Chain A
Amino acid sequence: MKALAAALLILVAACGKGNAIFNVDVLSFLSASDSLKRFSVPVGIGQADSSVARRFFLPPGFGKTAADSVSASATASIIDTAGSGSVQFDVFFARTQAALFTGTPYLSANSGAMVAGDSVRLLPPTTVSLADTVFQKDTVWVGIRGRINKNLTTTMAGRFRLNSLNVRIVVRGNIL
């Protein structure tokens, strides 16, 4: 992946003052166990996280300049099989693993109050981040988190499925 990304980046040089646009289907690089998470939060715990963190290689030239813009979009679905509560869906990008899940997520959506049997489709609004420096490195970490909030006295179980996660990175020419 890293090798090919570097090779493709060389082609960017052909675009002169144009832009290099990378449309990355992040979901396709995640395993099935990463995109489908089952959760069960017992009595006595009010909040629990189910998260995935994966590292992606970027073309080396990204280390020299900030991306002109980064837009991200995702869809996910929550199925509540037992109990009640809500699920907060967040997507983070960070330069290091330690920095994941801190700060403001790039994508965020909340299921609202759910009860057993509910199925909610999450459609967080597409976000656009200008002059993003997170991608100013050879690697980027992607973090996906489902935060379950519920009453301490009840249990909540269900499934969380990531249906799509796409990132569009626009880089000005001459990034080699």
Chain B
Amino acid sequence: MRTGVVGLVLAVLVLAPLLPRAASAQFSFDARRVGMGGVSLSRDGNARRYNPAYRAVKNKNQVAGAPKFSIPVPLGLIQFFKDHPINQLSHDPMFSPDSAAFNPIGLLDLVFNPPIFLEVKKAPTPTNDVAFTIGRNQLVVDLGASRVLIPEQDFGLGSTSRLFDAGAGFGGFNVGVMGFLEYDVKFQLDSTLRSFLVSDSTARPNTPYFVNIDGVAQAGFAPTVSFAGRILRGAGGNDTDDGLYLGGALHYYYGATYGRAVGPAGFTTGAPVLGSTPTPLLDGLVSTSTKPGGHGVGGDVGLVWISGPFEVGAGVDDIGAELTWSHTKIQRYLYTTSTNSVSRTVIAPDTTTKTKLPVTYLANAAIHMGTGTTVGGDVINSGRGTVIHVGAEQRTGPFAVRGGVSRDQRKKMQFGFGGGVRLGPLGLDVGFWTHSNSLSTQRAITMATSISIY
């Protein structure tokens, strides 16, 4: 029990900072978008998801040069299964915890960063010695260069998804239903623990070292009434997309289930530091809905302005989306030293709690030049850090050249470049994208390939 609890805490410290890399390394299966640094120049994907006004704007696939859809060519999977034959997966060290070569971080990276595309340049594997000085009266941990992995602020992972969004309507009005799923797990190192790992390095006797954990997950569906329409026409008249578009949606969120866990987890050293086994520290409150029926109201708004080759849009989602859960059970999980076990106590068998969906902001702009050049960019923040994409595409006959840059959630600059050729209704696109290893200043390069259907 103690081994697991104490180990879990430090595992979180090591594993969690690696997750954002995975999320930023592969953001799309479309080689065109990969080659432009992550920006999408078409009016689908992020634009329609986060800006309801885009529902009134014609999709870009009706514009010359833009494909209807793209199919990824998973060259990375070919290499992966060459290295890890399917018929030998049960003995593969990557998936066998009993193997000396088993690396949980590598496996986690594989889950969050599936090798769909080919890694043409691998980042050098970080080399760093970690030294532990262990004595009855002392515990000193020198992480060396790995200290940079220890986050200064809270860290974690989360996502807000709309699993489906279906409906029907007329005249710009739409009635439908969408499914939502939101999870967010945050970890924050207690200042004593952070100081121990980063600067002090020496554990003190009778001192708690812990991480504050706050995790929530909720899912449900939302009947929706929305409107999207062109409220002002531009100089080009009805034959063009010019004009000002406005969109809005009102959701009645109906939560199906939710759970939340809050509390510290860690250990308390003895006196002397290792004179006795460190005592696990676990005191968490877990709230779970006992019945579906969380409810709340929220909305999305957005606008798009198009004038000739230029368009700009802004959208905000899930404004005021707070769900009230009328039937929630709250339990306390507490590690008890005397029994060496975790006890569970029901604090409130049936009470009311509230949760929120994070507000998401998206701003985008693009200019379509007559010379075959398209330049665009977007800024998106879904409550977990701002991501910026800027990219450009130059088309000349059947050929296209692309490039772009991005600033990911970790505020690191990444670069994309690529090209494509179109032969009638088919096109082949290649995109290269850099991503960084947590402990290395050198970037790796991933090559994405996809077939476009025009």
Q: Give Cα A11 to B10, complex, Å.
A: 7
A8-B3 in contact (CB<8A): no
Q: For the complex formed, measure the closest distance between the CB of B17 and the CB atoms of chain A, giving whole angstroms.
A: 9
Q: Give Cα A29 to B277, complex, Å.
A: 12
Binds B, one of A20-28, A144-152, A155-163: A20-28
Residue from the list A14, A21, A28, A174 in contact with B132, Cβ < 8 A? A21
B136-A25 in contact (CB<8A): yes
Is B6's CB within 8 Å of the partner chain A?
yes
A15-B9 in contact (CB<8A): no
Is B98's CB within 8 Å of the partner chain A?
yes
Is A130's CB within 8 Å of the partner chain B?
no
Q: Give Cα A15 to B7, complex, Å.
A: 17
Residues of B within 8 A of A13 (CB): 14-15, 103-105
A16-B125 in contact (CB<8A): yes
Looking at chain B's contact residues, the main secondary structure is mixed
Q: Give Cα A64 to B93, complex, Å.
A: 12
A174-B103 in contact (CB<8A): yes
Known pairs A3-B2, A3-B277; A18 contacts B144 (CB<8 A):
yes
B14-A174 in contact (CB<8A): no
Is A10's CB within 8 Å of the partner chain B?
yes
Q: Give Cα A23 to B7, complex, Å.
A: 20
Q: Give Cα A113 to B134, complex, Å.
A: 36
B141-A11 in contact (CB<8A): yes
Which of A3, A8, A60, A176 is packed against the most chain B CB atoms within 10 Å? A3
A16-B127 in contact (CB<8A): yes
Is A6's CB within 8 Å of the partner chain B?
yes
Is A98's CB within 8 Å of the partner chain B?
no
Known pairs A7-B9, A8-B141, A11-B13; A24 contacts B134 (CB<8 A):
yes
Is B262's CB within 8 Å of the partner chain A?
no
> In the complex, which range does the number of interface residues on chain A fall in?
20 to 34
Q: For the complex formed, measure the closest distance between the CB of A156 and the CB atoms of chain B, giving whole angstroms.
A: 32
Which of A18, A23, A65, A175 is packed against the most chain B CB atoms within 10 Å? A18
Is A12's CB within 8 Å of the partner chain B?
yes
B125-A65 in contact (CB<8A): no
Residues of A within 8 A of B103 (CB): 13, 174, 176
Q: For the complex formed, measure the closest distance between the CB of B142 and the CB atoms of chain A, giving whole angstroms.
A: 9
Known pairs A11-B143, A23-B133, A25-B134; A174 contacts B101 (CB<8 A):
yes
B125-A17 in contact (CB<8A): yes
Is B11's CB within 8 Å of the partner chain A?
yes
B135-A12 in contact (CB<8A): no
Interface size on B, residues (CB 8 A): 45
Q: Give Cα A64 to B447, complex, Å.
A: 36
Q: Give Cα A28 to B143, complex, Å.
A: 23
Residue from the list A3, A12, A18 in contact with B3, Cβ < 8 A? A3
Q: Give Cα A151 to B105, complex, Å.
A: 62
Closest to A171 in B: B130
Is B83's CB within 8 Å of the partner chain A?
no
Residues of A within 8 A of B138 (CB): 25, 28
Residues of B within 8 A of A60 (CB): 3
Is B19's CB within 8 Å of the partner chain A?
no
Is B137's CB within 8 Å of the partner chain A?
yes
Q: For the complex formed, measure the closest distance between the CB of A160 and the CB atoms of chain B, giving whole angstroms.
A: 21
Residue from the list B9, B15, B131, B278 in contact with A21, Cβ < 8 A? B131
A3-B104 in contact (CB<8A): no
Q: Give Cα A65 to B277, complex, Å.
A: 25
Is B126's CB within 8 Å of the partner chain A?
yes
Known pairs A2-B3, A4-B267, A7-B267; A15 contacts B130 (CB<8 A):
yes
List CB contacts (< 8 Å) of A84-135 with chain B. none
Known pairs A14-B130, A17-B125, A18-B128; A28 contacts B137 (CB<8 A):
yes
Residue from the list A7, A18, A65 in contact with B7, Cβ < 8 A? A7
Is B345's CB within 8 Å of the partner chain A?
no
Residues of B within 8 A of A29 (CB): 135-136, 274
Known pairs A15-B128, A16-B126, A176-B103; A4 contacts B133 (CB<8 A):
no
Residues of B within 8 A of A11 (CB): 10, 13-14, 130, 141, 143, 146
Which of B131, B144, B278 is packed against the most chain A CB atoms within 10 Å? B131
Q: Give Cα A50 to B100, complex, Å.
A: 39
Is A69's CB within 8 Å of the partner chain B?
no
Q: For the complex formed, measure the closest distance between the CB of A31 and the CB atoms of chain B, giving whole angstroms.
A: 10
Q: Give Cα A4 to B101, complex, Å.
A: 22
Q: Give Cα A175 to B101, complex, Å.
A: 7
A7-B10 in contact (CB<8A): yes
Q: Would you give 27 A-B contacts (Cβ < 8 Å), ordered by A?
A: A3-B3, A3-B5, A3-B267, A4-B267, A4-B278, A6-B7, A8-B141, A10-B10, A11-B14, A11-B143, A11-B146, A13-B15, A14-B14, A14-B128, A15-B128, A16-B125, A16-B128, A18-B126, A18-B144, A21-B131, A22-B132, A22-B134, A24-B135, A25-B136, A28-B138, A176-B102, A176-B103
Inter-chain pairs besides A15-B127, A20-B132, A25-B136, 13 sampled, C-beta below 8 Å: A2-B3, A3-B2, A8-B10, A10-B10, A11-B146, A12-B130, A13-B103, A15-B126, A17-B126, A18-B128, A23-B133, A23-B134, A176-B102
